[in-house]
Amino acid sequence: MFDLKASYDMFLGILGLLPKTLLLAVTILILSTLLGIVIAIIQQYKIPVLIQLIGLFKLFLRGTPMVVFLYLMYYALPAMGQLIISLLGINYNMNNMSPVIILIVTVSLTLSAFQSEIIRGAFLAVDYGQIEAAHSLGYSFYQTFTRIIVPQAFVHAVPDFANSFTVAIKATSLGFLITVIDIFAKAKIMAAQNFRFVEAFLMVALIYWGAGILITKIADRYENDVRIK
């Protein structure tokens, strides 16, 4: 039978992990966006060799389930890191790498493939006439990119960035597989203690749902305010 008291206690317990989950998601969003910008620039300007490598990179990420990629990184990333620091002459044991770092790297790499498409679309949405006007005024590539393209492209990308943030929040739930405790992992732990699985998973679903609604509302408000200005 559904227990309201147990549900309330679980809701409070799970909610306590929400700040950590949001911090993980924000970190993932920032890193994946930065990498997505690099990928988008490489694709936009068709930089030789790099564009072929990016194509293989995106093909691999799109065709590999994130849970498989997470396990692959969990076992391979410390070994790769150990090799790199050994070549640099640094004495450090990479086997002590935090599972949190592995989760962030894995999800960021996966999300970057989709972020790059969002960013490319936002870049293309900027009126090319404004770019030509900037060039005629003597703007450098960097000045044109930072003062003309990025501010306008960001407005176009805000709704998709909000969706990406929601995806990042939900993707952190995979961290339980490598001992990272987020709101989903907390729900599983609490449910296992009293066998109230329905209550636990319903409460965590409500928290995910509420976070998603809040993010969407904030993004919509920001987009409307900017367009009005």
Is residue 132 within 8 Å of 139, Cβ to Cβ?
Answer: no
pTM for the model: 0.89
Question: For domain 18-180, which CATH number applies: 3.30.1360.40, 1.10.3720.10, 1.10.540.10, 3.40.109.10?
Answer: 1.10.3720.10
Is the model's pLDDT at 196 over the cut of 80?
yes
Percent of the chain whose pLDDT exceeds 70: 98
pLDDT digits (tens, 9 = 90+) for 71-104: 999 999 988 888 888 888 888 788 888 999 999 9
Q: Which helix (H) or strand (E) holds 113?
A: helix 99-125
For 128-170, write each residue's pLDDT tens digit: 788 888 878 888 878 888 888 888 888 888 889 999 999 999 9
The answer on pLDDT for 228 being more than 70 is no
**Cα dihedral 34→38→39→42 (10° resolution):** 170
pLDDT greater than 60 at residue 123: yes
Cβ atoms of residues 204 and 188 within 8 Å: no
Q: Residue 66's pLDDT band (boundaries 50, 70, 90)?
A: very high
* Residues 166, 21, 108, 34, Cα dihedral to 10°: 80
User: What residue spans define the domains of the chain?
Assistant: 18-180
Q: Rounded to whole angstroms, what are the CA distances from 99 to 70, 115, 127, 131, 181? A: 10, 23, 43, 44, 10
